[in-house]
Structure 1
């Protein structure tokens, strides 16, 4: 039986918040009502990692977090407090570096490494100079310039040799060692060293697929290494000879260049990565290399410890990071499910509006971004959103057609950040065309442009076609067909035939070995295009209402109706009742309370527009040569409103990240110092202007209560909708954090413990009087969590979701539904224009209903919403006196 949590609490572990720190809050989490701690990845990560997604060793627990001993202490503390554990895992990629022994072996031995097949590396690229080599783009300038400056050297530690440059250390290929060992043998007059040197040079270079000979080669290399180690220990003159010869090599530019060319990697200027990198990355991060987890032995190597924990009950569930990066997500999840049949498995699958998780995936659901966007969207006023569109266009002069903006940004990232991935796909499709007489005359340039266009026209992250199994759904086919049609319309000059051929290959109308490989690789490519082009670019450019720019969201949409919210919830209850639901994650652009406050702007568009006009006129004197531009300024004002109060330091950090992500005025790879200096100066002046600060505070104060109502509404929806609610660390009270690293600031758990202890002693009015302390939010969360823990079946797969329809003039301002006959949720929306409820009612099923937050008892029937919400802004109601006996619900009597 699957071990489904009642609720989870996300913990971001790093060297500043270790296993012991997490263990110290176990009692608090239990008192809050949490059932499972949900930890960020904690297998051994790169040194100093603040997130854990850069795993270097799947066999060990992260030493910086406390290692195995600390992990044991955490598990005991959780168990002692009745808490289970869920872990975030990273199957798609690993971090590069010496700590990753698999990668170190690969760059030492190249395609003859035992682990060469572990990574998604192209050993036979189009460029001859990169054949059987891995590009290592770490140099600060052109290779020759760095070499001539003496910044690349060969060094020794004992019997181990390294290439050192750019502050990094790389291994030396065994076959290249005779370049200085032979001369060293002459200096040391050592026949043994001469023999060892010659033997290194004679090591075989077996074919990539010849695993037996590869293992034999590794055995011989290890023997030679041991012989050299013994020789260095026994004959000091040998080491002196090696150092003398090695120093000579370092002084000889031509000799050193020749030696470096013998390595299994090619040192290069860091800027070459975007166009020439020969391995699949996580998005555009050069230091995160793609794993071939589809291979049985790679899966076993990287999942052994995780599977052990799941089988032993150390873990009850796992959240799988970025499954869209995998070659065959369905097959991966099937393998994972077979290894851990009772685990609660969640995939970080990003769904676009209208898209749903594949029902044949053997997992419980997604990590909750789909819920987040629906819950946020139902708080928006569609009429106000349309007005904001006009205000934004008039104020900034920017385009407002979001689909066009998103497409253009996707095209840009395929040209720049993801250029090497496009080149790899292009080479593959050139070979496909070469075998087809109708398309063999398509040029590489045409193919490259066509592939970029088709990928940029995808409406979702990816399709899931599997050629070897003949798997393709109607949904997959429709996505491809629409993308091809879009591409043909956008690029008529290329010719429709090539686009049609690409579509035929992607939908298995044309098949073959090369075609199958292309399909699988293209599907791994479209998700980075969407993520980098939309999430990490367009979402920082299109600033109509910044709070709607969230992972998996459509900020061009004017929100969701109550009916659409109900339809989504009914779908989830029917298909994925144990999915994760969340409002904030480590990856959200803004915390849930920031979005809730910004949503109020859709209710007061004219007031907001006029206010921003006044601010920009008053602050014009702080600009430098017209900078920052109006779009950036508009973004800044919304940031202040949503995250208020915001310090200058946080504002600078966030705005630099946002503006570089937008890539309009500056970027990560090409910093525009003039713009960034002007922006910083502008923020310094504005936040030092007391007149503006009072105006900003006054505006935020005016919308704050409506923002708090939005927060409480979406919070209650999260805890009573189909699925398992996840609470991001610290957000049990008001949290106005922005994107990482702002959302990883230390959490004050002493304060939260204090507030939690106060709640049972306070009346609803006293709790509401402590609004700005965050007590209403914590009280609501505590009440909902305790209910879920006491009665998990009331929210489980059998607890049907039934929409309740409000009646009266303010009916559209209410969200109400019933779960399983025993729980009713009633919450307001669009509260700025709500006023009073004017007799609007909702009908409760017969019986006595208890408000879990206020303690009130209400009789069923038609109940005025005003009566339900007069003490607290939202209502969580449960049917009193019910028990189950003999299959019949019977009312209990005292």
Structure 2
């Protein structure tokens, strides 16, 4: 297996196609990238902006160049000796009429060849919740008619531009008459004879007959645990791996699968031992990747969490919390807020999935006793408590029960629930634990699988897509894979996590930005600094609230925006503010305003407090978005000038954090993953903002024009990447099997430095990175510290990788030496 030196993530679609990607390969080569890391390339729904809504897993999407374009890209990569990693999506496909498999299932129901390719409950008719209202209402309004499908000429139930095929048995030889009917009773009768029923989209949360991806009704779960279905869905993927076009695979949402271990073992057998495989897997606090999965590791969200913890000033979080509470007028109670968000998911957003679980539990318990279980409400309460109390995405039980690691997780959850204030009936909870641990039979296995496929989405939607938009104290910590509850942290803990990373998954991806992160890595780096200066930030928010008070509106349900949202708006804007933006630049302000307004709408709806995606509160949204737009009006100069002036120290600290976290990503255990454009300055907001195509021509020109160390941060970051990746290419063993050795920092301000070495036989690399730079400005930082070098590192000559000059160290590495060169140090033994 060839382990990548560094990967570069490309988002296809939105202007990016195979030929466009091929054109930037020379630039990626100069940057030091070893593998292009592609978003899904298989045919997706028309107009897809991301490619995860696949309609044909065995065709390369013509919209981005098709097979011919793909082959040209592969040829161009091989010419430069670069590899290719594909993002594959085994868990789901588009529940779209463009998907021929799905359309065949709609037409033929359980008799379709593909009926069991999708995770469908065939004990009832297939629900298709794609109407804007109830079927009867839509029919009465003449929105549903019988028309010929333009693609096939066959009769179909037509709803606007969608043609749902009719089962041939439902109309026999009446095709001609059927196409001429406008009789509503006849249409209703035909609908009742279909293997499906058209329903309102609002019914999906409580009445859905197929497993979906999270809350996305348009993505239907696929049963890849079946060997035949695995083959049907992976044919082209395996062909591309076996013919050498593809060197690695990234498995999307592995926790959505019925049996991730079994799937990965089959994938490994089919791809062979040399395919580099990583999995998208969110690791909870203290959780590790199952050791028996045949993969190189995760896609790196836990690495982002480690970096976030490292750069946040945990000593001052309490002061920031106090300021936030004073501004909002409400106490911060994260455990309660998390529980509230999870209960919302269990009771509403995933009500249907929960009802299925409850029905399975009652069936199992009834079969055991030979009669219906008398305490359904007790079982319901216990099951509800169990699903909302899980601290990790899921366990990994199979037909044989739970493996030891998963059993320990379940036992800890049950013990916590039993001792908590919301403890359910002990016997009911014990019964559910027993079924999950060792319940035998098909129904118990199904319960175990469904339970495990629910806790992950429930966790993700509760934390990442609800709590992170409700709790706005420190937006830098509201990131995918982060621990939502406050906790102590230290440089020593960071070192321990990196040592553990080296031991458990040394070849995993190390990310700082992805297509799913809540904001770009440089926006996050800047916002870390707010935790260092809580009073400065709080005073600024008070000023800005006063300056912009005239933009607020008082609605029937309260002020818009409310204080918590104001705090969020100013902090999010601080992260996204371009450092070069002048307050008089009308065009620049307008561009930022448009991007920011889209972010605000998403943030309000994801919070699910006064508006949401299903029932939008237009009056409230318009008021808050209007407030956000007025903030950035070129006429609002008093605020804009104060805002830009206040950001100066945060921007400076953010630049230091940006370079430091980049340096760590490039040298710590793992394979550095660079998200498109983030080798420059990435101040993007949440998707779709972070999926915009970067200005590759400008990045290429910038790399070619890099000069001395006085270049601005964007060039320094790009140069740091290029120089460090030169070393990674030249010394792969140093970064793969090389030891991770924490280095002791001594002197005033030592807490503002993180230092470590990577050590292999006859090779070593010393890394010195700043943190808490606003505190360092007071305490002296690098100028007042020294790094103690152990015998194996001391009295040696090194090359300064950043300046390409040689230097010799004795027993210590003087921090002032590092301070002269970009404020960070990277030294490779000569």
Identify whether the pair has TM-score above 0.5, normalized to the shorter chain: yes
Matched, 1:163 2:180: no
Equivalent residue number for residue 174 of structure 1: 168
CA deviation after TM superposition for structure 1 residue 15, in Å: 4.8
Matched, 1:690 2:637: yes
Find the residue that maps to 1:289 and give its secondary structure.
strand
**Alignment deviations for residues 545-583 of structure 1 (CA, whole Å, 9 cap, x no partner):** 011111110243256311111101111111211010010
Equivalent residue number for residue 816 of structure 1: 755
- Which ranges in structure 2 are unaligned for 5 or more consecutive residues? 579-588
Aligned-partner Cα distance in 2 for 1:696–1:449 = 50
Matched, 1:782 2:722: yes
1:700 to 627, 633, 647: 647
1:477 to 398, 407, 411: 407
CA deviation after TM superposition for structure 1 residue 708, in Å: 0.4
Note if contact 1:3-1:342 (Cα within 8 Å) is conserved in structure 2: yes
Equivalent residue number for residue 139 of structure 1: 131
Aligned-partner Cα distance in 2 for 1:419–1:64 = 37
CA deviation after TM superposition for structure 1 residue 442, in Å: 4.1
Matched, 1:565 2:494: yes
1:605 to 508, 512, 534: 534
2:599 to 641, 654, 658: 654
CA deviation after TM superposition for structure 1 residue 478, in Å: 2.7
Q: Residues 383 and 404 (structure 1 numbering): CA distance in 2 closer, same or farther, change over 3 Å?
A: same
Matched, 1:633 2:572: no
Matched, 1:519 2:448: yes
Find the residue that maps to 1:342 and give its secondary structure.
coil
Note if contact 1:433-1:442 (Cα within 8 Å) is conserved in structure 2: no
Q: Residues 751 and 442 (structure 1 numbering): CA distance in 2 closer, same or farther, change over 3 Å?
A: farther
Note if contact 1:10-1:38 (Cα within 8 Å) is conserved in structure 2: yes
1:792 to 726, 732, 738: 732
Note if contact 1:808-1:838 (Cα within 8 Å) is conserved in structure 2: no
CA deviation after TM superposition for structure 1 residue 477, in Å: 2.0
Compare 81-90 and 681-690 and name the one that shifted more. Answer: 681-690
Aligned-partner Cα distance in 1 for 2:397–2:371 = 23
Spell out the pairing of 1:232-381 with structure 2 (5 A cutoff). 242=176, 245-249=177-181, 251-340=182-271, 341-381=273-313
Aligned-partner Cα distance in 2 for 1:398–1:514 = 46
Find the residue that maps to 1:403 and give its secondary structure.
helix
Find the residue that maps to 1:136 and give its secondary structure.
strand
Find the residue that maps to 2:747 and give its secondary structure.
coil
Note if contact 1:4-1:316 (Cα within 8 Å) is conserved in structure 2: no
Spell out the pairing of 1:481-520 with structure 2 (5 A cutoff). 481-488=411-418, 494-508=424-438, 510-520=439-449
Find the residue that maps to 2:774 and give its secondary structure.
coil
What is the count of residue pairs matched by the alignment?
Answer: 798
Q: Residues 70 and 500 (structure 1 numbering): CA distance in 2 closer, same or farther, change over 3 Å?
A: same
Note if contact 1:15-1:65 (Cα within 8 Å) is conserved in structure 2: no
Equivalent residue number for residue 457 of structure 2: 528
Spell out the pairing of 1:78-227 with structure 2 (5 A cutoff). 78-124=77-123, 131=124, 133-156=125-148, 157=150, 159-178=153-172, 181-182=173-174
**Alignment deviations for residues 821-841 of structure 1 (CA, whole Å, 9 cap, x no partner):** 411111111111113245411
CA deviation after TM superposition for structure 1 residue 490, in Å: 5.8
Q: Residues 716 and 624 (structure 1 numbering): CA distance in 2 closer, same or farther, change over 3 Å?
A: same
Q: Residues 444 and 146 (structure 1 numbering): CA distance in 2 closer, same or farther, change over 3 Å?
A: farther
CA deviation after TM superposition for structure 1 residue 763, in Å: 2.2
Aligned-partner Cα distance in 2 for 1:492–1:735 = 44
Note if contact 2:653-2:774 (Cα within 8 Å) is conserved in structure 1: yes
1:412 to 337, 344, 353: 344
Q: Residues 464 and 91 (structure 1 numbering): CA distance in 2 closer, same or farther, change over 3 Å?
A: same
CA deviation after TM superposition for structure 1 residue 585, in Å: 0.1
1:868 to 812, 818, 821: 818
Aligned-partner Cα distance in 2 for 1:607–1:558 = 23
CA deviation after TM superposition for structure 1 residue 682, in Å: 1.2
Find the residue that maps to 2:572 and give its secondary structure.
helix
Aligned-partner Cα distance in 2 for 1:746–1:326 = 31
Matched, 1:585 2:520: no
Find the residue that maps to 1:31 and give its secondary structure.
helix
Aligned-partner Cα distance in 1 for 2:371–2:646 = 62
Q: What is the CA RMSD across the aligned residues, in angstroms?
A: 1.7
1:400 to 326, 332, 336: 332
1:843 to 788, 795, 816: 788
Aligned-partner Cα distance in 1 for 2:659–2:372 = 61
Equivalent residue number for residue 584 of structure 2: none
Equivalent residue number for residue 586 of structure 2: none
Find the residue that maps to 2:797 and give its secondary structure.
strand
Aligned-partner Cα distance in 1 for 2:655–2:179 = 68
Equivalent residue number for residue 667 of structure 1: 612
Aligned-partner Cα distance in 2 for 1:138–1:443 = 36
Equivalent residue number for residue 61 of structure 1: 60
CA deviation after TM superposition for structure 1 residue 786, in Å: 1.6
Matched, 1:642 2:578: no
Note if contact 1:401-1:556 (Cα within 8 Å) is conserved in structure 2: no
Note if contact 1:854-1:872 (Cα within 8 Å) is conserved in structure 2: no
Aligned-partner Cα distance in 2 for 1:479–1:471 = 10
Aligned-partner Cα distance in 1 for 2:700–2:626 = 40
**Alignment deviations for residues 260-314 of structure 1 (CA, whole Å, 9 cap, x no partner):** 1111110111111110001100001001000000000011111111111112221
Find the residue that maps to 1:257 and give its secondary structure.
helix
Note if contact 2:342-2:459 (Cα within 8 Å) is conserved in structure 1: yes
Find the residue that maps to 1:164 and give its secondary structure.
strand
Aligned-partner Cα distance in 2 for 1:799–1:711 = 25
Aligned-partner Cα distance in 2 for 1:811–1:348 = 36
Equivalent residue number for residue 686 of structure 2: 739
**Alignment deviations for residues 189-239 of structure 1 (CA, whole Å, 9 cap, x no partner):** xxxxxxxxxxxxxxxxxxxxxxxxxxxxxxxxxxxxxxxxxxxxxxxxxxx
Equivalent residue number for residue 458 of structure 1: 390
TM-score w.r.t. the length of structure 1 is: 0.87
**Alignment deviations for residues 29-87 of structure 1 (CA, whole Å, 9 cap, x no partner):** 00111000000000111111111111111111011001011101111111112211001
Aligned-partner Cα distance in 1 for 2:110–2:261 = 29
**Alignment deviations for residues 76-130 of structure 1 (CA, whole Å, 9 cap, x no partner):** 1111122110010000000022221111111111111111111111111xxxxxx
Aligned-partner Cα distance in 2 for 1:838–1:684 = 43
**Alignment deviations for residues 150-177 of structure 1 (CA, whole Å, 9 cap, x no partner):** 2111112565222111431111101112
Aligned-partner Cα distance in 2 for 1:544–1:43 = 40
TM-score w.r.t. the length of structure 2 is: 0.94
Aligned-partner Cα distance in 2 for 1:685–1:32 = 40
Aligned-partner Cα distance in 1 for 2:82–2:164 = 44
Aligned-partner Cα distance in 1 for 2:723–2:611 = 47
Equivalent residue number for residue 208 of structure 1: none
The higher radius of gyration belongs to: 1
